[in-house]
Amino acid sequence: MRNFKLTLASTIAGLALITAQSAQANELTNPGFEQDVGTYANGNNFPGTVVGWTFGSGQNPNVVKVDGAGGYDYGNNGPEFDADAATGPGVSQHYLDIADGSNSFYQSFTPSCSGNVNFGGSFSSRANRRGSATIAIREGDGLTGTVVGVTESISTPYGNSKTTPWTDVSYSTTLSAGTTYSFVITMDNDANFDDGFVEFDDCPGDEEINLCCPPWTKTKMSASLQPVAGPGGLGSNFAINYQSVAASDNAMEAYVSYLSVVNPAVSTLDVRYHTRNFGTAALPSGPSSPVPGATSQTVIHSPVSTSAPTFWPGFIFQQDIWYGFMTQVTARDMTGTDLELFDKVNSQGERVCPNIIMYYRVQSIGTNSQPGFTNSGEIMVEVSDGDRIVANVPLSSLTESLNYEDTPAIQVPPQTQTTSPFKR
């Protein structure tokens, strides 16, 4: 997490402008190891100082940098993605390993509330082996204080460390306001850790506002893309147009106004669209690959207007291929400089909201064999969220952009129903 955090108590004026998503604030700093990562290379980074965390006398901390499916190949040393399920391909992401051994590490905090607290994080394995770890909250500042409650043990599954999902754990205990505690992790050589948290069930005035990015959703993103027939007509390949939707533009412009109250330097929110090839299987699957010639496109929202270029002018997308269309949101000042308000780091080193991604494919269907197809020989647009087909409509019927939440889900037939390896 970034160190730029807002609480309800500190942003009453801004809240009058827009309703933002919120959650109880995390007592931990840098829980996902995303701070001060500008000099980290892909793969292993040790030894080094990890912001907010203190380490015991064991082996060195190793901050691992990856960028999702289809990017840097970390082999079976650990996952190709971090524990944040919202992070997509092409975004720098980080997690913690102990290099060539084991160690304990902790972060101390002094809560302003008393009551029940939930604590935990995410663990994964390395080198296709089973990893072991423990997690506890102890009294005082350090590794040796009295355990509050019990020490919890975690064992990560062995298998393919590159693609096996993270193991999320959550426990609870009771803490007292004004008392210092330490959140303590111990890991062996075969475990990784990410996204630690200590959150009270109820701590009035301490709710953390999620800046990323309440008005920008999969619904609005999918509504902004309009597949259309290519220059050869319905039987040819296809193009993607940008469709300006007034409700979406108005919501984003209002959100820029809200952020400019919170931080007067905010001038625009830039939404960058880019695309990758996710293959020809029944569902989109990784590893993905670049789409030569389909350069990124950026829509710019200010408090009073929205401007967009002609998307992918002259570029023709191929039938039968799943294209993943992704967006990243960046907050900029009037000079175009990234204000670093958000958590994730993209390939350009900018702080962005996590990827929102939807997948599109155009196919020429010759039979009525698959549920949902109503016309023999129709050119169909399929839309997927990565786990299933969520929309399936004739290309000829698309006179406006396709909102996937307004279209009944079409399930892939049982013989091809799979879970995309890219989703986690």
pLDDT tier for residue 400 given thresholds of 50, 70 and 90: very low
pLDDT at 281: 92
Q: Are 173 and 87 in contact (CB under 8 A)?
A: no
pLDDT of residue 17: 36
Query: So where are the chain's domains?
Result: 26-202, 218-416
Residue 88: the pLDDT is: 72
> In the chain, pLDDT over 90 holds for what percent of residues?
46
With a cut of 90, say whether residue 205 has pLDDT above it.
no
- In angstroms, the CA 8 to CA 207 distance is 6
Q: Is the pLDDT of residue 180 over 80?
A: yes
With 80 as the cut, is the pLDDT of residue 263 above it? yes
Least confident of 9-23, 176-190, 301-315: 9-23
| CA 140 to chain centroid | 34
The yes-or-no verdict on residue 46 having pLDDT over 60 is: yes
pLDDT at 301: 94
pLDDT band, residue 223 (cuts 50/70/90): confident
Share of the chain above pLDDT 70, in %: 81
Residue where the block lists tokens 């330490």:
182
Q: What is the pLDDT of residue 8?
A: 37
Look at residue 173 in the predicted model and tell me its pLDDT.
95
Q: What's the whole-number mean pLDDT along residues 316-320?
A: 90
User: CA neighbours within 13 Å on the CB side: how many for 33?
Assistant: 29
Nearest Cα to Cα of residue 379 among 395, 391, 390: 395
Q: How many CB atoms lie within 10 A of CB 404?
A: 19
Mean pLDDT across the stretch 379-405?
72
Measured CA to CA, the distance from residue 1 to residue 228 in angstroms comes to 39
Instruction: Give the Cα-Cα-Cα angle 307, 311, 314 (nearest 5 degrees).
Output: 140
Q: Which helix (H) or strand (E) holds 256?
A: helix 246-262
Tell me the average pLDDT of the chain: 81
Residue 373 pLDDT: 41
Q: What is the pLDDT of residue 279?
A: 92
pLDDT band at residue 19 under the 50/70/90 scheme: very low
- Amino acid in position 201: D
Q: For residue 206, count CB atoms less than 10 angstroms from its CB and return exposed for 0-12, middle for 13-18, buried for 19 or more.
A: middle
Strand intervals (E) in 50-90: 54-55, 61-66
Min mean pLDDT across 43-57, 84-98, 385-399 is at: 385-399
What is the per-residue pLDDT for 44?
A: 94
| Average pLDDT, integer, range 380-385 | 87
pTM of the predicted model over 0.75: no
Instruction: Give yes or no for residue 333 having a pLDDT over 60.
Output: yes
Give residue 94's pLDDT: 92
The band of 299, judged by pLDDT with boundaries at 50, 70 and 90, is very high
Residue 409, pLDDT > 50, answer no
User: Once rounded to an integer, what is the mean pLDDT over residues 323-343?
Assistant: 91
Decide: residue 74, CB within 10 A, 0-12 exposed, 13-18 middle, 19+ buried: buried
Query: Is the per-residue pLDDT at 18 higher than 80?
Result: no
pLDDT over threshold 80, residue 209: no
Q: What is the predicted pLDDT for the residue at 21?
A: 40
The one-letter code for the residue type at 242 is Y
Locate tokens 């800046």: which residue?
211
What is the average per-residue pLDDT within 41-64? 91
- With 50 as the cut, is the pLDDT of residue 184 above it? yes
- Reply yes or no on whether the pLDDT at 421 is more than 50: no
State residue 204's pLDDT score: 63
CATH fold of 26-202: Jelly Rolls (2.60.120)
